[in-house]
């Protein structure tokens, strides 16, 4: 089993912000289950995420309700190859206030250190992951859904991955929210 760190990616609010960020963001139409969605994507995100993975030895993976659709509609438009997908949509909901994706992420990481870029995570998610027996070191990067992923988010992840969060970790190895 690989011990390479993971970088987990959400789409909406992270790669697809709620409002267009500058001229480099391009509007795309995606058709999912007969519905047309408009997304605003910036190719620089793909290059930046690929560089983060390459420099840190991390593996990128989707942690989004887009699931496999992210490999069809999002990845190619930002310049990412097909990535592993964490299945998250078959879930009844929260048990302790955590986001419905959090339990699936906890199972998927299987002890590997990870950074998770998402716009819907908070203290209940951090606590759930901290208490889950199969979760090791992690960093939750809260992304403002209005602006999406920024260089500051990537820098924080890069720094954490370089030192596995040394100095920012509590006793259990999790970066505080």
Owner of token pair 């997304």: 39
Domain ranges of the chain: 6-163
Lowest mean per-residue pLDDT among 55-64, 138-147, 157-166: 157-166
Torsion of CA 134, 7, 105, 71, to 10 degrees: -140
Average per-residue pLDDT for the chain: 88
Which conformational region is residue 167 in: left (phi greater than 0), alpha (psi within -120 to 50 degrees), or beta? left
- DSSP string of 58-79? -EEEE-STTTTHIIIIIHHHHT
The one-character DSSP state at 84 is -
* Residue-wise burial string across 75-108, b where 16 or more C-beta atoms lie within 10 A, e elsewhere: bebbebeebebbebeeeeeeeeebbbbbbbbbeb
Q: pLDDT category, 22, cuts 50, 70, 90? A: low
Report the pLDDT value the prediction gives residue 175, as an integer from 0 to 100: 55
Q: Are 50 and 67 in contact (CB under 8 A)?
A: no
Work out whether strand 6-9 and strand 59-62 pair parallel, antiparallel, or are unpaired: parallel
Question: Is the model more confident about 99 or about 143?
Answer: 143
**Cα–Cα distance between 88 and 148 in angstroms, integer?**
21
Specify whether the CB–CB gap between 177 and 126 falls below 8 A. yes
pLDDT of residue 19: 77
Amino acid 3: pLDDT: 85
Domain spanning 6-163, CATH class: alpha beta
CA distances, 60 to each of 53, 115, 116, 161, 173 (Å): 7, 10, 10, 13, 21
Decide if pLDDT at 97 tops 90: no
89 confidence band (pLDDT: 50, 70, 90)? confident
pLDDT classification of 172: cutoffs 50, 70, 90 = very low
């Amino acid at each position: 089993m690989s011990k390479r760190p993971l970088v987990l990616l959400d789409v909406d609010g992270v790669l697809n912000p709620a409002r267009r960020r500058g001229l480099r963001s391009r509007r795309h139409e995606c058709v999912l289950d007969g519905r047309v969605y408009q997304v605003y994507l910036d190719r620089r995100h793909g290059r930046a995420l690929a560089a983060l993975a390459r420099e840190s030895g991390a593996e990128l993976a989707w942690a989004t309700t887009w699931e496999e659709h992210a490999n069809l509609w999002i990845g190619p438009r930002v310049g990412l190859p097909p990535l592993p997908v964490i299945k998250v949509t078959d879930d009844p909901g929260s048990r302790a206030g955590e986001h419905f994706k959090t339990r699936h992420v906890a199972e998927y990481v299987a002890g590997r250190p990870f950074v998770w870029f998402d716009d819907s995570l908070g203290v209940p998610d951090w606590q759930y992951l901290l208490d889950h027996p199969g979760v090791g070191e992690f960093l939750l990067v809260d992304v403002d859904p209005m602006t999406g992923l920024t260089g500051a988010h990537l820098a924080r992840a890069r720094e954490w991955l370089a030192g596995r969060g040394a100095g920012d970790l509590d006793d259990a190895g999790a970066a505080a929210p």
